Amino acid sequence: MTAVTEIWTYRNLVYNLAQRELRARYKKSLLGWLWSLINPASMLLIYALVFGVFLKIPPPVAGNGRTSVYALYLFAGLLVWNFFNAVVMGSVSALQGSGGLLNKVYFPPSTPAIANMLTVLLQALIEATILAVIMIALGNVSATYFIFPIMMVLLTPFALGLGLFFSIYNVYYRDVGYLVGIAMSLLFYATPIIYPLSQVPEEIHGVPVRAIISLNPLTQFVEWSRDAFYNLRWPSAASFLGTTAASLAVFTFGWIVFNRKARNVAEEL
Amino acid sequence: MTDTPAIIVDDVSKRFRVYKNRPSSLKERVTHFARDRYDEFWAIKGISLEIPSASVYGLVGHNGSGKSSLLRLMAGIHRPTRGHITTHGRISALLELGAGFHPDLTGRENVYLNAAILGFGRRETDALFDEIVEFSGLMDFIDAPVKHYSSGMYVRLGFSVAVHVNPQILLIDEVIAVGDEEFQRRCFEHLYRLRRSGVTIVMVTHNLGLVQAMCDRAAWLDHGQLLAEGTGPAVVKEYLSRVNEIEAERFEEAERAAEAAELERLAVEEKAAVAAAPVAALAERPVLLGKIEIFDRSGKPTRIATTGEPLTFRVHFLCRREVEEPLFSFAVENENGVLVANPGMRRKQEIRRTAEGDGFVDYAIESLALGPGEYQFTFAAHDAHGTMVLDKRERAATLRVQSGDEVVLGLVDLQGRWQGVTGEAREIA
């Protein structure tokens, strides 16, 4: 627990590191901040074109009973994924990238990962706001929007826990970073982001595929985001409890492993 | 507060792993199958120290003695393998100036970032910002990205931040030896000010003069072990005498070998010259310079001298025919080939004798003026008018000069005496 209070005393550093990343990221680019929107937008466009138009994945009808737009359905899931992916991968590179600094000054080794998480969180909130604005414009409005912040409160420690776990092992074995990269692209397709969970067959050759996919905690987060902005439904209590448990467990595990292994991190980097 | 030491190092050891061929990937680890292949290396071996609060503490020792490692342990960057380090007070470490500067950010943004790395809050930084910038003298460039800074500007800003974050303990690793004279002076002034205000300063340095002048206490580390601990001047003295001893041994051994080889060469040359003995050659080289001896104050031959001590040079020579009043001289060069001195006999001023056969001349120095360093001596014999070189031995002897109890800076000790304090003696603050 001392590690937690330590982070609190170094909160200003976390904030400054996050600021540094945001400030330095788009320096010297003409469009600057716009890139942080153009990037996800282009990704969204490509997926919408390939899966929505070419492959014709049918989007469910939205909560207001009229709207049925694949791109928006995709967006609600994709922003969850983008956040998760950026936290995990960003944690790995953040720790690796601060090796020089950790050798010169003492600060908690988890601060770069936390700072990265903050910048990514800001991005996710901007994207969510854009989605909400579009949805409001389409008349798809409900109190279920408030699920989103709750979901983020649970998703953040989940993603950060995984990120910290992989980042510390990556210090000792650089392959971890590459392996995580591959695992992430597998996970992307193992999570119902570009397709609705209902499209997944109940079972293939006796394997209960849909049940397995829904056990993926990320599936729940993606579903919640869609429930919040698209379907306008409240998630089930079972889903809520399961997700909370998964989030707490993953974070605690990642945090403990990280802090145990991080004792000599400055020497290894 | 002043009674509790600022830092207590309690029987601390630190082991580093030196990977021979580090399995930095899983594949290698699997294929090698064996466990990590590394050598263990103890950088610090069972050191116990107490650093009194509000004092200046120096860590001295050779490269690789573990003093920087110890500083890192104190800073919390590395953790001791064994033992404990207890610190009281906020630590600011200057292991590298401007660590954590982001090249794309402006000086202003980096000041905030660097202050945060050193554990400083935003509002606290706001309050000190002007002072930091003023100290660094970079007012005009504070809003330019630091990548456009010169290395000197970089360092100035880094130092300025590090000393202004109100540390209670300041750890400095040989970093003040940067920047121009003017900035260095300001750095030291600031360090003195910090010391007066009760900041504990621990510094790793090779500058022994600094330790003597500034450190209340000092520790001397060697191969990870504590060899001496005490007041700054006492530790420096002990360190210097040991260093001199070791160097003297090493140096004398090498010199002895070189001298033996040289004497052999001389003997061969002499024999050849005598054997051939053409009249013309004899006319050209009637004098052959031989062995060079150097004696210390007690008349013992040596190759190590101490600044301020008496020293005598003796040049042996052989005259193969009667030579009228030969003159002798020698040139002193330092490591950089700078001619430091070139004493020579002058006509009708010194002992003059017509020589034939073996002989020697002495050059006696009452108090050696040369500062610490290595010097090469070239000896020459001239004819009576000093116009013709009869024989010359280039770099025939090497002398190592060490400083005595007082550290001598510079090439020579002018050996003057300060005097003339008039009026009432005043307390110097």
pLDDT digits (tens, 9 = 90+) for B195-229: 888 899 998 888 887 888 888 999 999 888 998 89
State the nearest Cα–Cα gap between A189 and chain B, in angstroms.
Answer: 26
Distance from CA of A100 to the nearest CA of B (A): 8
Q: Is the pLDDT of residue A118 over 90?
A: yes
- Nearest Cα neighbor of B100 from B53, B51, B161, B45 is B161
A13 and B77 in contact by Cβ < 8 A? no
Structure-block tokens of residue B221: 């580390």
B365 phi/psi in degrees, rounded to 5: -115, 130
d(CA A166, CA A250): 12
Of B78, B99, B145, the CB nearest to A105: B99
Measure the CA–CA gap between B14 and B70, rounded to whole angstroms: 9
Nearest chain A CA: its distance from B153 CA (Å): 19
Nearest CB to B75 within list A28, A106, A175: A106
Assign B270 a pLDDT band (cuts: 50, 70, 90).
Answer: low
Q: What is the DSSP string of A25-79?
A: HTTT-SSGGGHHHHHHHHHHHHHIIIIIIIS-PPPPPPTTSS---HHHHHHHHHH
Count interface pairs A-B at CB distance under 8 A: 84
DSSP B291-328: EEEEE-TTS-B-SEEETTS-EEEEEEEEEEEEESS-EE
Dihedral of CA A196/A199/A204/A208: which sign? positive
Does residue B1 surpass a pLDDT of 50?
Answer: no
H or E element at residue B44 = strand B38-51
Q: Say what the pTM is.
A: 0.72
Chain A residue with Cα closest to B162? A105
Cα angle B389-B394-B397, degrees, rounded to a multiple of 5: 125
Asked if residue B376 lies in contact with residue B294, where contact means CB atoms within 8 angstroms, the answer is: no
Q: How far is CA A215 from CA A102, A239, B420, in A?
A: 38, 10, 92
The helix (run of H) or strand (run of E) holding residue B94 is: strand B91-94
> How far apart are alpha carbons B18 and A268 in whole angstroms?
10
Judge: A105–B79 Cβ closer than 8 Å, yes or no.
no
A-chain residue closest to B99, CA distance: A101
Distance of CA B265 to the CA centre of its chain: 35
Which pLDDT tens digit goes with each residue over B7-66? Answer: 999 999 998 877 766 556 666 666 655 555 677 888 899 999 999 988 899 998 888 888
Give the residue ranges of DSSP H helices in A107-174: 111-137, 147-172
Cβ separation of B109 and A17 shorter than 8 Å? no
Report the first-to-last Cα separation within chain B, whole angstroms: 25
Q: Which of B126-140, B158-172, B347-361 has the highest mean pLDDT?
A: B126-140
For residue A247, what are its two tokens? 């989030």
Average confidence score pLDDT of chain A: 90
The residues, any chain, with a CB within 8 Å of residue A137's CB and separated by 6 or more, are: none
Residue whose C-alpha is closest to residue B147's, from B106, B89, B200, B205 = B106
Q: Can you count the helices (H) and strands (E) in chain A? A: 12, 0
If you average pLDDT over each of A3-7, B124-128, B184-188, B285-289, which comes out highest? Answer: B124-128
Closest alpha carbon within chain A to B104 = A24
Q: Take residue B299 and report the two structure tokens written for it.
A: 């008349």
For residue B78, give how far its alpha carbon lies from the nearest alpha carbon of chain A (Å): 6
> Could you tell me if B232 and B212 are in contact, meaning their C-beta atoms sit under 8 angstroms apart?
yes
Which chain B residues are Cβ-neighbours of A27 within 8 angstroms? 104, 145
B115-138 pLDDT, tens digit each: 888 777 888 889 889 998 998 888
Across the range B358-362, mean pLDDT stands at: 85
Determine the angle formed by the axes of helices A217-226 and A147-172, rounding to 10 degrees: 150
Question: Does B120 reach chain A within 8 Å, measured CB to CB?
Answer: yes
Is residue B52 classed as helix, strand or coil in its secondary structure? Answer: coil
CB A72 within 8 A of CB A131: yes
* Residues paired with residue B362 on neighbouring β-strands, in sequence order: B314
Question: Among B79, B93, B112, whose Cβ lies nearest the Cβ of A263?
Answer: B79
Q: Quick check: A27 and B117 CB within 8 A?
A: no
Is B93 in the A-facing interface, judged by CB distances under 8 Å? yes
Whether residues B25 and A173 touch (CB distance < 8 A) is answered with yes
Residues of A within 8 A of B102 (CB-CB) are 20, 24
pLDDT digits (tens, 9 = 90+) for B64-123: 888 888 998 998 888 899 999 998 888 887 777 666 677 877 888 888 888 888 777 888
DSSP for B217-238? EEEEEETTEEEEEEEHHHHHHH
Query: Which chain A residues contact residue B93 at CB under 8 A?
Result: 104-106
Nearest to A106 among B26, B93, B96 (CB): B93
* Interface contact flag, A10 B76, Cβ < 8 Å: no
Q: Do B79 and A264 touch (CB under 8 A)?
A: yes
* Interatomic CA distance for residues B69 and B80, integer angstroms: 10
CA distance B74 to chain A (A): 10
Q: How far apart are CA B93 and CA A107, in angstroms?
A: 11
Q: Assign B251 to helix, strand or coil.
A: helix
Chain A residues touching B24 at Cβ < 8 A: 172-174
The encoded tokens of residue A18 equal 């996050």
Give the pLDDT score at A58: 86
Q: CA B216 → CA A65, A140, B243, B302, distances in Å? A: 81, 74, 21, 36
Q: Cβ separation of A20 and B109 shorter than 8 Å?
A: yes
- Compare all CA atoms of chain B with the CA of A267 and give the residue at the minimum distance: B78
The pLDDT, as a whole number, for residue B348 is 64
Nearest to A103 among B77, B79, B145 (CB): B77
Interchain CB distance below 8 Å, B95 and A101: no
Residue B347, CA distances (Å) to A172, B309, B329 in order = 77, 28, 12
pLDDT number for residue B429: 47
Statement: residue A16 has pLDDT above 80: yes
DSSP-assigned states of every residue in A70-81:
HHHHHHHHHHHH
Nearest chain A residue to B121, by CA: A12
Q: How far apart are CA B399 and CA B258, in angstroms?
A: 12
Q: Give the closest-approach CA distance of A269 to chain B in angstroms.
A: 11
Does A20 sit within 8 Å of B105, measured CB to CB? Answer: yes
**Which residues of A lie inside 8 Å of B (Cβ-Cβ)?**
9-10, 12-13, 15-17, 19-20, 23-24, 27-28, 100-107, 172-176, 263-264, 266-267
Q: How far is CA B173 from CA A102, A141, B60, B276, in A?
A: 16, 61, 11, 64
Of A102, A106, A173, the CB nearest to B24: A173
Look at B122 and A12 and tell me if their CB atoms are within 8 Å.
yes
What are the pLDDT digits (tens) for A22-33?
A: 887 877 778 878
Q: Inform me whether the C-beta atom of residue B22 falls under 8 Å from chain A C-beta atoms.
A: no
CB contact under 8 A, A175 and B91: no
The reported pLDDT for the residue numbered A113 is 95
Residue B227, C-beta contacts closer than 8 angstroms, at least 6 positions apart? B61, B220, B221, B238, B239, B242
pLDDT value of residue B282: 53
Q: Which residues contact B369 (CB under 8 A, 6 or more apart)?
A: B307, B412, B413, B414, B415
Q: Do B99 and A173 touch (CB under 8 A)?
A: no
- Give residues with Cβ within 8 angstroms of A79, minimum separation 6: A40, A124, A127, A128, A131, A225
Which positions in chain A touch B105 (Cβ < 8 Å)? 20, 23-24
* Cβ-based contacts of A101 with chain B (< 8 Å): 99-100, 117
Q: Kindly state whether B412 is in contact with chain A, defined as any CB-CB distance less than 8 angstroms.
A: no
How does residue B272 score in pLDDT terms, banded at 50, 70 and 90? Answer: low
**A20, B79: Cβ pair inside 8 Å?**
no
pLDDT at B176 over 70: no
What is the least distance, in Å, from the CA of A170 to any CA of chain B? 9
Q: Residues A192-248: pLDDT tens digits?
A: 999 988 888 888 888 899 988 888 889 999 999 999 999 999 989 988 999 999 999
Cβ–Cβ gap B100/A19 under 8 Å: no
Tell me whether residues B100 and A23 touch, CB distance under 8 A.
no
